[in-house]
Structure 1
């Protein structure tokens, strides 16, 4: 009996705005940052579907004005998954800019010796998805409206 193996999450280019040394935190939004509240959550899994505890995730994205904070660490932060492989980040919905559809950048690493996966997560139903040169349909999140904003879900599948 062959076990079903999950497809690896495809990489999407890093882009020019990654900044090392982001703070470890679940809420990456500065106090006076305008925008629609967004919770992004999901799991980091291996190819057999098993949860990866202690996986590192580093998030960064543009604000609702389409700009990145390149001076400080607003809308930037990293965290590690729990025993169940789950992550949970509190942020705001990013805006698109120029040719880009709204997206959230993430670096994911299962463990210290594991390869780093760099991804951009996209939102469903965005007009610019059709023309964004970097858009990847396999990294579109499931998004639902909530009482105070939106919730997006995405499970990463990575090499251990």
Structure 2
């Protein structure tokens, strides 16, 4: 029986993947082993700490469901999600900046007519969102699919509410851009909110950081033929947490001036019965290809698109 010291053990495990049929798989596993073994050596990891880590990961997996992804949340708060995003989008060439998908891209995003109030049953200050999708030169992209989702006035996503399964989606939808690349909809003004703190990831954040907050934002996933899918947020200027987002997702270009308006008529000509807010943003798509992410727990029809 071969006996290994610290260095030889790492070399042996790395060598054990030498015959992997896929070169990329071989590379990823060997580099992972090197990094993990280095971490154990640098920290002098104890048995208790090792057991605690395994327990933490076990509980993280147990918290996942069709409407919740605790591992994505873990990746987010460790900055891994933004790092993966950064290394895959190093050159934007005038295209809109990307950011994290987040753990709440779930369920069905139904195609809705422009102007739909996607938060019709919710309390909160009204907001009108008008946006345009173009290529990097400013030419409109017609027929692009745009998925939108966001937290409500209480800082909750629909999938976090007890009645989600029976009541269906709210504050989420899909719009198709018109011939000028435009789409618009009504909703409520989202608020900054804490990441879920009832699971192992949230508990870790509360024990180690000043807060668990994300600044107010609307998620957008834009999928246009002949262009790389765009996953991004539009943040609301003036939010208290823009400089301390718990998942490190804010970029200056993605902060929009959301105006409070008292005009009696909204941009689509319909009457406004109360003061409202206006969000305007243009999305510039990078040429290329790629497959857009599918929502967690999407319907079979949507998953097959």
TM-score clears 0.5: yes
Q: 2:120 aligns with which of 19, 25, 30?
A: 30
CA distance in 2, matches of 1:117, 1:47: 13
TM-superposition CA deviations, 1:3-54 (whole Å, max 9, x none)? xxx71111110000002421112321132x0111001112101011101111
| 2:135 maps to 1:21 | no
Q: 1:93 aligns with which of 181, 189, 194?
A: 189
- Structure number, greater radius of gyration: 2
| 2:284 maps to 1:157 | yes
Match of 1:103 in 2: 217
| 2:180 maps to 1:53 | no
Match of 2:258 in 1: 143
Give the Å deviation of 1:114: 3.8
CA distance in 2, matches of 1:135, 1:12: 7
Structure with the higher helix share, 1 or 2: 2
Match of 2:130 in 1: 41
TM-score (ref. length: structure 2): 0.48
TM-superposition CA deviations, 1:56-79 (whole Å, max 9, x none)? 100000111111011221100011
Contact 1:142 1:154 in 2 (8 A): no
CA distance in 1, matches of 2:183, 2:256: 14
Higher mean alpha-carbon deviation, 8-17 vs 131-140, is at 131-140
Match of 1:120 in 2: 233
TM-superposition CA deviations, 1:107-134 (whole Å, max 9, x none)? 00112x5432110110111111111122
Match of 1:80 in 2: 176
For the aligned residues, what is the CA RMSD? 1.7
Contact 2:227 2:285 in 1 (8 A): no
CA distance in 1, matches of 2:106, 2:155: 17
**After TM superposition, where is structure 1 displaced by more than 2 Å over at least 4 residues in a row?**
none
Indicate the SS of the match to 1:91.
strand
Give the Å deviation of 1:157: 0.3
User: Unaligned stretches of 5+ in structure 1?
Assistant: 1-5
Structure with the higher strand share, 1 or 2: 1
Give the Å deviation of 1:85: 0.7
CA distance in 1, matches of 2:244, 2:284: 26
CA distance in 2, matches of 1:56, 1:7: 21
